[in-house]
Amino acid sequence: MSILISIEELLSGKKVEGTRMEFKEDWNPTTIMRTVCAFANDFENQGSGYVVVGVKEENGKPVRPVLGFNPDALEKVEKEMIGYSNLIQPSYMPRMSLEEIDDKHVLVIWVPAGSNRPYKVPDDVKVAKNKKYNYRIRMYSNTVIPNEEQEAELIQLTAKIPFDDRVNTHASVKDLNFGLMREHLYETKSKLYNESASMSVEELAEAMNLCQGAEEHRFPKNVGLLMFSDNPQKYFPAVQIDVVEFPEGAGAKQFEEKTFDGPIQKQLVDALSYLKTNVIKGKVIKYADREKADRIVNFPYDALEEALANAVYHRNYELREPIEVRVLPTAIEIISYNGVDPSLKQADFEKGIIRTRRYRNRRIGELLKELELTEGRGTGLPTIYSAMTNNGSPKPLFDTDEPERRHFVCELPVHPGFVDDQVNVQVNDHDNDHVNIDENIFKLVSRVLENMEVANLIKPTEKQILKYIDIAKSLTNDQVSVLTFTDSPKSNKEIQVECLGLKKHTDNFKRYIQPLLDEGLLRRTIPDVPKSRLQKYFTTESGKIVLYILNNHEE
């Protein structure tokens, strides 16, 4: 039976981490069965493992072209495998597939995580008598005998099969959608796609390890219902993604909500598509002191994609709580329940280095990786940090809700270049959308905004105009002088000495410059390095609008 992804994709290492693969130059049952046992034990809930026979390995990578496996030996090896698999305690049978690559054949032994762990295997399956049995586990890319502490932990895992890999006795295998299963195989370029055309739903579910049990008592696994049924909500209420937009902030009554349901991989793709189309915006920032402009987005898609995919991967599907994506003027928050594994600490997320000790949903993660909807093991957090940094955005924020661990929040702050576009004004009468302000002032400021050469600038509302007027009234004469002086970028020293006639001092910076930065009227030319010796400050679009109001207040 063919594996669920193409052999080319498997050997590339893009969809299956190296820790879940082992390469053998030829058929060596002694070492191969040790690795089969280790993969079946799945000590860290990583999901399926693969032993590829007929491939040389160098530094953990397959050597191409492959050495090859003689297809005429397949029947003999299959018979031997039956006998060797019966030696595993309890008995465990992996799946074998003959695959073609580099004009040769290789033998792939697919080892789904076992449901009856822990498993033991003889140190040498070819020894006739007095076989010595040991547990085997994977440590990084090696198959080892667990130490005393690890063995005790492995035994404790007997009753801890991850929820997604458990059978669901309240459903039938016929509840799985044949078309959705084949669609997955098509996307992953599996040979099984063509083979499945003549299969029944039950046969395909068995081939994809989406069901379990004897023929008369066969039930689907939860992962099958979550990813390959028409309506997972029938079996898992509130399994959905809610995107809630608060254009005026979380405290305002106005919000828009959109729900994404169906198979969880479809939820993820549809929600990301919606966010990419309706939420992510780009702009070009031009500078007075250099020709090259910066192209930025309010939220980098790569960071958003990884954060939401991680929420789908790691959420607790036993809880009746949706994943919530809150789109605020200043950030996007992704909230999932019931939080992260207790082994992960708040400080780990703040450092940006996470290595999950044990995965909650091994099959969901495995299948999402095959679809390239999630990154490889341990790379999600660095991807988010990198995407935010490359866009010039503030660092992502994480809340593990210690010590209760009821939820997990990933917050992606908006790029500073979009803060001016997101003015949120609080008024006493929230039920009244119209704010009574001077009509002439409204026309003046609207005209200024229309003339601003900034991409994707949101058309101002009356509440936003009121905010600009309030800011204008609050400024001191010295602060107005600073905004006028920084029409082109100026250094801290130039502002204090040339504009204000003062000596350069930290207290003066805090008094005259910092409030303007906090209000979004001034901006740094090098926002990522606030203390850079090359740092300069310039008046933002909001600052120019405020100056325009002050200069034309009589009109």
One-letter amino acid for residue 335 of the chain = I
* pLDDT at position 493 over 70: yes
The pLDDT mean for the chain works out to 86
pLDDT of residue 247: 85
pLDDT tens string 176-207: 999 999 999 999 999 999 999 999 999 999 99
pLDDT of residue 425: 35
pLDDT of residue 416: 84
CATH of 1-158 given 3.30.70.270, 3.40.50.1100, 3.30.420.40, 3.30.950.30? 3.30.950.30
Residue pair 298/315 in contact (Cβ under 8 Å)? The answer is no
pLDDT tens string 521-535: 998 888 777 887 788
CATH architecture, domain defined by 423-551: Orthogonal Bundle (1.10)
**Tokens describing residue 295:** 């192209």
pLDDT tens string 63-79: 999 999 999 999 999 99
CA neighbor of 168 nearest in space, from 117, 116, 226, 113: 226
305 versus 13: which is more confidently predicted? 305
CA 512 to the chain's CA centroid: 41
CA 15 to the chain's CA centroid: 15
CATH 3.30.565.60: which residues of the chain? 241-418
Distance CA 259, CA 318 (A): 19
pLDDT tens string 250-298: 766 788 999 999 999 999 999 999 999 999 998 877 666 666 777 889 9
* pLDDT at position 438 over 60: no
Q: What CATH class has 241-418?
A: alpha beta
* pLDDT at position 360 over 70: yes
Cite the beta strand spans of 465-552 per DSSP E: 522-524, 537-539
Residue pair 374/313 in contact (Cβ under 8 Å)? The answer is yes
**Tokens describing residue 159:** 């009753």
Mean pLDDT of 16-27: 91
Beta partners for residue 333, in sequence order: 326, 411
Q: β-pairing, 142-144 with 137-139?
A: antiparallel
Mean pLDDT of 409-427: 69
Give SS3 for 403. coil
Distance CA 520, CA 416 (A): 9
**Tokens describing residue 195:** 């083979």
Q: β-pairing, 21-24 with 49-53?
A: parallel
Distance CA 361, CA 159 (A): 15
pLDDT of residue 436: 44
CATH 3.30.950.30: which residues of the chain? 1-158
Q: How open is the CA angle 283-288-294, to the nearest 5 degrees?
A: 30
**Percent of the chain whose pLDDT exceeds 70:** 85
**Tokens describing residue 410:** 């990933």
pLDDT tens string 130-172: 899 999 999 988 999 999 999 999 998 876 788 999 999 999 9
**Percent of the chain whose pLDDT exceeds 90:** 55
Mean pLDDT of 203-226: 92
CATH 1.10.10.10: which residues of the chain? 423-551
**Tokens describing residue 107:** 């033998």
**Weakest mean pLDDT among 101-110, 140-149, 337-346, 376-385:** 337-346
CA 373 to the chain's CA centroid: 8
Mean pLDDT of 347-376: 77
Residue pair 84/52 in contact (Cβ under 8 Å)? The answer is no
Cα dihedral 39/41/46/47 (nearest 10): 70
Q: β-pairing, 137-139 with 104-111?
A: unpaired
Q: Is the peptide bond before 118 cis (omega within 30 degrees of 0)?
A: yes
pLDDT of residue 18: 82
The Cα-based distances of 157 to 150, 162, 507 in angstroms read 11, 10, 60
pTM: 0.70
Distance CA 120, CA 92 (A): 10
